[in-house]
Amino acid sequence: MLRKQAHVGAFQQQSQRSTPFSYSSTLSVLVSVIFLLGFIFPLTALLNSSSQLSVKRERWHTYTLPEAVRAVARNNTVILCAVSQPYLPFLINWLTSIAKHHRQHGVLVVAEDYATLYAVNEKWPGHAVLIPPAPALQQAHKFGSQGFFNFTSRRPRHLLQILELGYSVLYNDVDMVWLKDPFPYFKGKYDIYFTDDMTQVKSHDHSHKLPPPGKKGRTYICSCMLFIRPTNGGKLILKKWIEELKAQPWSPRAKANDQPAFNWALNKTSDMVKLYLLPQRAFPSGGLYFKNETWRRETQGKHAIIHNNYITGFEKKIKRFRDFDLWFVDDEEMDPTEALVKLRSSE
């Protein structure tokens, strides 16, 4: 648009200058020029903008994780999530909640498809990266499917790569909402901080050690929210997690996601890695927060991050967020990524 206006301005100046000479010839030149411009301009403008777009897209196509981490990290820390296109409204909701605590600048979105990569980076340049190969999409959404397992199995590798670059990482699923800034909870010099996915109420002063194993012989620590430092212990737990995923691949019977492997990794490295269980009051599972009203009222004002789990399906999750006043997406807006422009300008 700017280019076009500059051209039109130059043209007007020229035509004003040429009037004193031959009026009729100038007029005919003018008419043909206008005719040509009218024909060529929209065409060139179109070609221009589409080639600019493909240049931009080419830029994001080759954008790597190390580049992206260096570009967005704040205080040597990245806040990471992984998103495919159907989850964009959840991404916007999560980001909006983070922006209330002025931490959105440090967010990096691992795009699981090219549409998401372009959609985010066109509105919020540099905040999305695609780590090839993009997983096969149709299969990636159904909880318990092999596609879903493959999709979530990529997570520990991405996290490890960030630690190897020397950065701390806070990983979040995007069906979460921040009510408080979680960073003050990452106290002390632990390698990894995590939350319990159980619904059972713990005492206010519960231990911050790995809980005892549950019915399946392992713990139910959530792989949905992790803060990890770039220490040897931090890297070790991720390497173990990757190993466990390889040792226990997906099977139709087990229908696993990446969480059991993570819990076995915690079990096997617990004497080598400094582990920290975050307080339940601040980081409750969705099964506790949404389902136990008594507990929710008792702990009012203490909650930091709410996870909308223990429920499946986009529509159900959105409805539950709405019912609890945790849905911040403007439903009138056709394109949810428009909200990214506001986030960007608040930087």
Ligand X SMILES: *[C@@H]1O[C@H](CO)[C@@H](O)[C@H](O)[C@H]1NC(C)=O
Tell me the one-letter amino acid at 186: F
Name the segment binding ligand X (CB under 6 A); options: 31-39, 43-51, 92-100, 287-295: 287-295
**β-pair type (305-307, 176-178):** antiparallel
DSSP H or E segment with residue 323: helix 314-323
For residue 294, state whether it binds ligand X (rule: CB under 6 A).
Answer: yes
Judged by CB, which is closer to ligand X: 33, or 131? 131
* Contact status, residue 181 vs residue 97, Cβ threshold 8 Å: no
For residue 270, state whether it binds ligand X (rule: CB under 6 A).
Answer: yes
Judged by CB, which is closer to ligand X: 42, or 213? 213
Among 185, 295, 310, 328, binds ligand X (CB under 6 A): 295
- DSSP for 26-95? HHHHHHHHHHHHHHHHHHHHHHHHHHHHHHHHHHHHT--HHHHHHHH-BTTEEEEEEE-GGGHHHHHHHH
Judged by CB, which is closer to ligand X: 120, or 273? 273
Name the segment binding ligand X (CB under 6 A); options: 52-60, 233-241, 290-298, 305-313: 290-298
Among 11, 41, 183, 324, binds ligand X (CB under 6 A): 183
* Contact status, residue 147 vs residue 136, Cβ threshold 8 Å: yes
Cα(301)–Cα(282) distance, rounded to whole angstroms?
9
For residue 267, state whether it binds ligand X (rule: CB under 6 A).
Answer: yes
Among 58, 298, 323, 333, binds ligand X (CB under 6 A): 298
Size of the site for ligand X (CB under 6 A): 17
* Contact status, residue 192 vs residue 270, Cβ threshold 8 Å: no
Judged by CB, which is closer to ligand X: 78, or 92? 78
Cα(119)–Cα(335) distance, rounded to whole angstroms?
10
Residue 224 beta carbon to ligand X: minimum distance, rounded to whole angstroms: 20
Residues in contact with ligand X, shown as a per-residue x/- string from 41 to 80 under the rule CB under 6 A: ----------------------------------x-----
Best CA proximity match to 89, nearest among 58, 47, 119, 113:
119
Residue 273 beta carbon to ligand X: minimum distance, rounded to whole angstroms: 11
Tokens linked to 127: 């905040």
Name the segment binding ligand X (CB under 6 A); options: 27-35, 58-66, 94-102, 293-301: 293-301
Name the segment binding ligand X (CB under 6 A); options: 123-131, 236-244, 289-297, 307-315: 289-297
Among 80, 176, 210, 261, binds ligand X (CB under 6 A): 210
DSSP for residue 337 = T
Residue 79 beta carbon to ligand X: minimum distance, rounded to whole angstroms: 11
- Sign of the C-alpha dihedral computed for residues 199, 203, 205 and 211 taken in this order: negative
For residue 213, state whether it binds ligand X (rule: CB under 6 A).
Answer: yes
Helix, strand, coil percentages for the chain (3-state, nearest 5): 50, 10, 40
Tokens 């490890």 correspond to: 160
Give, as ranges, the residues between 117 and 176 that touch ligand X (CB under 6 A).
Answer: 136, 139, 146-147, 150
For residue 201, state whether it binds ligand X (rule: CB under 6 A).
Answer: yes
Residue numbers at the binding site for ligand X (CB under 6 A): 75, 136, 139, 146-147, 150, 183, 201, 210, 213, 217, 267, 270, 292, 294-295, 298
